[in-house]
Amino acid sequence: MKGKQVKESLVRGDRIYGTHMVSLGNPLSAGWTADLELDFVFICTEHIPIDRTEVAAMCQLYASRGISPMVRIPYPDKYWANMAIEGGAEGIVAPYVETVEQVRDLVGAVKYRPIKGKFLQDLLSGARQPGDKLARYMERFNQDLYVIVGIESEEAIANLEALLSVDGVDGVFLGPHDITCSMGIPEEYDHPDFIAVIVDVVKRCRAMNKGVGIHMDLTHDRCKPFFDAGMNFMLNQADTVKMIHTLKGDFKQLRDKYGDRYQLPGETAEQGKTIVY
């Protein structure tokens, strides 16, 4: 998908599918990934130590394969958003957003390019309107760009409608780890209060025609209530997480089949046999 298609799908409520690609690793990886039938890839610069050059290379490679690259910037900042876009990002995911001012600055950086300074502030406040030529230019110039705000705290959830009322927001990213910590039930993803909160947020987002998704293993049964509520931004796990889980299961199966156990560095073979997965 191109960014314009992603935006349109998020608004309509159509489901779009993608995963978190942790790093480039191999320049051929984008080609291999295309076989996964992804609509987008999620690239994180908040928690993953990858530099601007690698992020730009990932964006360019995935975009060339028809997979929309979205980048989670380190924090909700218009300058970081602009840098990611200049490197090839189509979507900007801003983490831990809590104020209308943050959202307005992000929308200005993404949807009003290349306008900056007082001119931009006047446009955002409504004190000034762009002329027809400029309006058409900005629409064309930014047609594949979209803004996704990170709702990751009780404060943000309480202010959800105000945050999403800023014209130009396309979707919502829900961070389960931070939300459960904010609720005082860290990592209790099966907790009924957590599930109820996510269902409520999904419904509120869809009522405002905003895309919404949560970053989890979406194949898990715990996510079904979110789908039933209308979740359509399908950010399923991460490449390395899936790889680790799959390979760990494979090696456990092989060791069990042939009577072996994992031997930690420095241990004897006899000690290794006592290791339990």
Q: Please tell me the distance from the alpha carbon of residue 50 to that of residue 87, in angstroms, as a whole number.
A: 13
User: What pLDDT, on a 0 to 100 scale, did the predictor assign at position 43?
Assistant: 96
Task: List, as one string, the DSSP characters of 189-221.
Answer: TT-HHHHHHHHHHHHHHHHTT-EEEE-B-TTSG
Handedness of CA 221, 223, 225, 227 (dihedral sign): negative
Using 50, 70 and 90 to split pLDDT, how confident is the model at 28?
confident
Using 50, 70 and 90 to split pLDDT, how confident is the model at 52?
very high
* Residue 126 burial class via C-beta count within 10 angstroms: exposed 0-12, middle 13-18, buried 19 and up: exposed
The reply to whether 216 falls in a domain is yes
Single-letter amino acid, residue 225 = P
Range of weakest confidence among 200-214, 216-230, 237-251: 237-251
**In this model, does residue 248 exceed pLDDT 80?**
yes
User: What pLDDT, on a 0 to 100 scale, did the predictor assign at position 157?
Assistant: 98
The reply to whether 194 falls in a domain is yes
Using 50, 70 and 90 to split pLDDT, how confident is the model at 24?
confident
Handedness of CA 50, 52, 55, 61 (dihedral sign): negative
Closest CA to 92 of 115, 114, 76: 76
Identify the three-state secondary structure at position 40: strand
The reply to whether 13 falls in a domain is yes
Give the residue-averaged pLDDT of 256-275: 70
User: What pLDDT, on a 0 to 100 scale, did the predictor assign at position 163?
Assistant: 98
129-132: long-range contacts (C-beta < 8 A, 24 or more apart)?
Answer: none
The reply to whether 277 falls in a domain is no
The pTM score is 0.89
The reply to whether 122 falls in a domain is yes
For the stretch 172-213, pLDDT in tens is 999 999 999 999 999 999 999 999 999 999 999 999 999 999
Q: How many domains does the structure of the chain reveal? A: 1
* Cα radius of gyration rounded to whole Å, the chain: 21
For the stretch 101-159, pLDDT in tens is 999 999 999 999 999 999 999 999 999 999 999 999 999 999 999 999 999 999 999 99
User: What pLDDT, on a 0 to 100 scale, did the predictor assign at position 271?
Assistant: 58
pLDDT > 90 fraction of the chain, expressed in percent and rounded: 82
Tracing tokens 């001119």 back to the chain, one arrives at 119
**In this model, does residue 246 exceed pLDDT 50?**
yes
**In this model, does residue 70 exceed pLDDT 80?**
yes
CB 146 within 8 A of CB 88: no
Residue 143's domain spans which residues?
3-272
User: What pLDDT, on a 0 to 100 scale, did the predictor assign at position 48?
Assistant: 92
CATH code for the domain of 21: 3.20.20.60
